[in-house]
């Protein structure tokens, strides 16, 4: 780690150079939208898919990681992340690639940091019985676009209502 910090400090520095070098050197996993935590969730759930208790613990633990980023103490990390030095850019890089925005640290867990709510999908995951369900393929081809249109119309009505 000391070598990495020395190497980063010795680089010709501009605002994003260090991030681009680290992203290029790290491969494609760290360039994902959800970050490496989303990859970790997939790998961990695959590894424990036969044991419901381990699935619950693993999924709950991953949700807890996202919830911790919403706690007020996490907002103190913004001073570390928002600086302009190389170490600040490395901290920002690590958070960004974990799928956690530096602007979301310590923000509301209900309006900004809501990724932890994935824990509410756990009961539905545990209900899966490894059997094929009813053949309603065409229902979803109709339902999905229809519900998007309904949500759009609700949004239009609400935006018009809010203007007056």
Domain that holds residue 92: 2-131
Identity of the highest mean pLDDT range in 27-31, 111-115, 117-121: 117-121
**Which residues neighbour 108 within 8 Å (Cβ) at sequence distance 6 or greater?**
70
Please indicate, yes or no, whether residues 81 and 66 belong to a single structural domain of this protein.
yes
Please indicate, yes or no, whether residues 143 and 73 belong to a single structural domain of this protein.
no
Distance between CA atoms of residues 161 and 130, nearest Å: 46
Distance between CA atoms of residues 162 and 149, nearest Å: 20
Please indicate, yes or no, whether residues 90 and 144 belong to a single structural domain of this protein.
no
Please indicate, yes or no, whether residues 59 and 69 belong to a single structural domain of this protein.
yes
Please indicate, yes or no, whether residues 54 and 97 belong to a single structural domain of this protein.
yes
Helices (H), the chain: 2-10, 17-26, 36-47, 52-68, 78-81, 86-97, 122-126, 137-163
Distance between CA atoms of residues 102 and 80, nearest Å: 10
Please indicate, yes or no, whether residues 63 and 113 belong to a single structural domain of this protein.
yes
Please indicate, yes or no, whether residues 109 and 163 belong to a single structural domain of this protein.
no
Distance between CA atoms of residues 160 and 164, nearest Å: 7
Q: How far is CA 146 from CA 12, 140, 141, in A?
A: 53, 9, 9
Q: Across all residues in the chain, what is the average pLDDT?
A: 76
Please indicate, yes or no, whether residues 119 and 147 belong to a single structural domain of this protein.
no
Please indicate, yes or no, whether residues 70 and 15 belong to a single structural domain of this protein.
yes
Distance between CA atoms of residues 50 and 45, nearest Å: 9
User: Domain tally for the chain?
Assistant: 2
Please indicate, yes or no, whether residues 77 and 149 belong to a single structural domain of this protein.
no
> What secondary structure letter does DSSP report for 41?
H
CB-count exposure of residue 70 (10 Å: 0-12, 13-18, 19+)? buried
Q: Is the pLDDT of residue 157 over 80?
A: yes
Q: How much is the pLDDT for 162? A: 62
Structure tokens at 133: 């369900």
Q: Which residue, chain included where needed, has tokens 């103490």?
A: 73
Q: Is the pLDDT of residue 12 over 70?
A: no
pTM score of the predicted model:
0.57
Residue, of 84 and 164, whose pLDDT is higher: 84
Please indicate, yes or no, whether residues 124 and 137 belong to a single structural domain of this protein.
no
């Amino acid at each position: 780690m000391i070598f990495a910090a020395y190497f980063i400090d010795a680089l010709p520095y501009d605002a994003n150079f260090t991030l681009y070098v680290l992203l290029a050197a790290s491969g494609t996993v760290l360039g994902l939208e959800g970050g490496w935590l989303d990859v970790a969730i997939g790998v961990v759930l695959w590894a424990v898919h036969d044991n419901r208790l381990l699935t619950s613990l693993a999924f709950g633990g991953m949700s807890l990681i996202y919830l911790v980023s919403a706690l007020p103490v996490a907002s103190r990390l913004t001073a570390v992340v928002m600086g302009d030095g190389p170490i600040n850019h490395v901290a920002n890089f690590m958070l960004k690639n974990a799928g956690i925005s530096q602007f979301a640290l310590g923000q509301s867990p209900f309006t900004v940091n809501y990724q932890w709510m994935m824990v509410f999908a756990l009961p539905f995951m545990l209900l899966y019985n490894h059997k094929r369900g009813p053949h309603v393929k065409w229902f979803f081809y109709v339902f999905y676009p229809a519900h998007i249109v309904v949500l759009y119309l609700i949004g239009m009505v609400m935006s018009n209502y809010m203007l007056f």
